[in-house]
Every structure is written in C-alpha cells, then in structure tokens.
C-alpha cells in the first residue's frame, strides 16, 4: 500500500466508525487488565460471559486475591486455559497490592513484569486505559496487515513496528480497534468479504473474493 492508500484506508474506517471501542466489557482499568489477561486464545464473547459472573463478586486485586485459586477458577472455568490464567491473575493481583497500591501501573515495563501480561496485553492497556498510541497485534491485525499490504511482517512484533512506522499519527490512537473490527467482521480469516469491503480500492490483496451467486 502507498502512503496515500493507507490514508484512504484509515479515513474510510474512521468515517464508518469514528469512536471504535473494545468489545471486552469493563468499567475500570483493573477490569480491563483482567479481561485482556483472560482473553488469550478465547473470544471476547466468552470472556464477557465469565467476567459478568466474576466482576460483581470481585473486581479489585484485593477481592480477587481473597477468592483464592479454587474460588477464582469457579467463575472463569468456561474459558480455555482457565487454571493457568487463574494462577497468573492471582499472582498479578498480589503484585498489584504489594507494589502498586492496588492500582494498575501505566508503564510498559511495569505491566510486562506482571505474570500473564505479555507485550500484546500491555499494548492494549496502554492504548485503551492510558491513551498511548500503541499497537496490540492480535491474530486479526496480523492477518489484515499482511494480507492488505498495510504492514507486512513475519512476526507480530515486526508487524507492530511497521504499523507504528506506517500508520499516520492522527489515526494511531484508534488504529488497533479499527483493524481488529475489520478483521473480525469483514477481512475474515477463511473468506474475506472483499465484495462488500469499504477499503477494497486501497487493498493489495488479489484476486479479491467475490460474493457467491
Ligand atoms: S478487499 Fe478483501 S482482502 Fe482487502 S481488506 Fe477488504 S476484505 Fe480484506
């Protein structure tokens, strides 16, 4: 994609959805961190189902710690890898209480030091909660960036760095949500809906997929 095409790509996504938001449900930075931590290899819908049970009972580091491993597992057992996620979340809560006064820290180094929090989770929290123009490359962003020619790369980190270099600054705050939503609903993994895609004119993917008759 040329810089002009990249601009048109994001201008089009922006016009269709000026204020995109995460589909994970949360009402505080800690709830966001918890939801993202639970979302690895799980769908947002599945995570929301579990957190709707968990958050009314415990939605702070101290109250989740008080649940203990078994208590926490009982609320999130519908999510894949729930045992290790519960273990990581409890350890993260302990660190938040002991070192951060029960608050979620706002730097990458402090976030990535939390168990179960990798670069992608830190990027989501930094972007959504702290307004930093980071790019959390999930499976959708990785695919869309490569397929369209927006930011090709062999690893999520390579794609992340290329996106930060190529996406115009004015679009950076919301770019990761636009790309996730575009990948989830239009530029889907198995069969991208090129025939109804608003950004088809600036996408490198060829041949475009046609609607079935
Ligand atoms: S034209 Fe097709 S491949 Fe390109 S962004 Fe749209 S859906 Fe994806």
Domains in the chain: ranges and CATH: 3-20+134-202 (1.10.1670.10), 29-128 (1.10.340.30)
Task: Give Rg (Cα) of the chain.
Answer: 18
What is the CB < 6 Å shell around ligand 1? 147-148, 186-187, 192-194, 197, 199-200, 203, 205, 208
pLDDT of residue 40: 86
Q: What is the mean pLDDT of the chain?
A: 95
Predicted confidence at residue 161, as pLDDT, reads 96
Question: Which residues lie below 8 Å from residue 174, measured CB to CB, with a gap of 6+?
Answer: 14, 19, 20
Nearest residue to 140 via CA among 184, 172, 203, 173: 184
- What is this structure's pTM? 0.87
Per the annotation, where are the binding residues for [4Fe-4S] cluster? 187, 194, 197, 203
Per the annotation, the verdict on 208 as an active-site residue is: no
Split at pLDDT 50, 70, 90, the class of 113 is: very high
Mutation probe of ligand 1 site: the residue of 13, 140, 205 with most atoms within 8 A of C-beta: 205
Of 62, 110, 68, 59, nearest to 87 (Cα)? 68
Q: Is 138 a catalytic residue?
A: yes
pLDDT > 70: what percent of the chain?
A: 100
Q: Confidence class of residue 11 from pLDDT cuts 50, 70 and 90?
A: very high
With a cut of 80, say whether residue 213 has pLDDT above it: no
Look at residue 96 in the predicted model and tell me its pLDDT: 98
Q: With bands split at pLDDT 50, 70 and 90, how would you rate the model's confidence at 22?
A: confident
Residue minimizing CA distance to atom 2 of ligand 1: 194
Structure tokens at 188: 């889907």
Mean pLDDT across the stretch 116-130? 92
49's enclosing H/E stretch is helix 44-54
23 Cα to the center of ligand 1, angstroms: 22
C-alpha of residue 84 to centroid of ligand 1, in Å: 36
pLDDT at res. 104: 97
Per-residue confidence (pLDDT) for residue 50, from 0 to 100: 96
Which pLDDT score is estimated for 87?
A: 97
Number of Cβ atoms within 10 Å of the Cβ of 18: 8
| Cα separation, 18 vs 87, whole angstroms | 38
């Amino acid at each position: 994609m040329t810089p002009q095409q990249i601009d048109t790509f994001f201008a089009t996504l922006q016009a269709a959805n000026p204020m995109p938001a995460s589909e994970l449900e949360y009402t505080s930075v800690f709830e966001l961190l918890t939801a993202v931590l639970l979302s690895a290899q799980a769908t947002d819908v599945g995570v929301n189902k579990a957190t709707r049970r968990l958050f009314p009972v415990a939605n702070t580091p101290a109250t989740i710690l008080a649940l203990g491993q078994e208590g926490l597992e009982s609320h999130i057992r519908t999510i894949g890898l729930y045992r290790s996620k519960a273990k990581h979340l409890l350890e993260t809560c302990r660190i938040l209480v002991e070192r951060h006064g029960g608050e979620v820290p706002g730097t990458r180094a402090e976030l990535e030091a939390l168990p179960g929090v990798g670069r992608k989770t830190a990027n989501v929290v930094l972007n959504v909660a702290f307004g930093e123009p980071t790019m959390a490359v999930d499976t959708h962003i990785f695919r869309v960036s490569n397929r369209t020619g927006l930011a090709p790369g062999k690893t999520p980190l390579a794609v992340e760095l290329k996106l930060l270099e190529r996406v115009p600054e004015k679009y950076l705050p919301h770019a990761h949500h636009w790309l996730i939503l575009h990948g989830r609903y239009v530029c889907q993994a198995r069969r991208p809906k090129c025939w109804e895609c608003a950004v088809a004119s600036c996408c490198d993917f060829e041949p475009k997929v046609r609607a079935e008759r």
